[in-house]
Amino acid sequence: MMPSADASDLGLSFMHSITSGHISLVGGFLHLIDYVALFYLILLLWIPFFWFVFHPAIGFWRRMGNRAFWVALPVWLIFAAGIVISRHQLFSRRVERNALTWIVGGILFIVAQWLDGQTRHAFGWRRLAGLTEINPQHRLCGVIRAGIYGRVRHPRYLLYMLMMVSVAFLTGAYPIFLLAILNVLLYQIVAPLEERELLDQYGPQYEDYRRSVPRFVPRLGRTP
Ramachandran angles phi, psi of 173, nearest 5°: -85, 125
Lowest-confidence pick of 94-98, 141-145, 170-174, 205-209: 141-145
pLDDT digits (tens, 9 = 90+) for 92-124: 889 888 999 999 999 999 999 999 888 887 766
pLDDT digits (tens, 9 = 90+) for 4-39: 555 555 454 545 554 555 556 666 788 899 999 999
Average pLDDT over residues 67-95: 85
Coil/strand/helix, residue 217: coil
Average pLDDT over residues 142-146: 75
Q: Domains (ranges, CATH) in the chain?
A: 42-212 (1.20.120.1630)
Examine the pLDDT at 1 and tell me if it is beyond 50: no
- How does residue 149 score in pLDDT terms, banded at 50, 70 and 90? confident
Percent of the chain predicted with pLDDT > 90: 31
In order, the DSSP letters of 30-72 are HHHHHHHHHHHHHHHTTHHHHHHHHGGGHHHHHHHGGGHHHHH
For residues 29 and 40, which has the higher predicted lDDT (pLDDT)?
A: 40
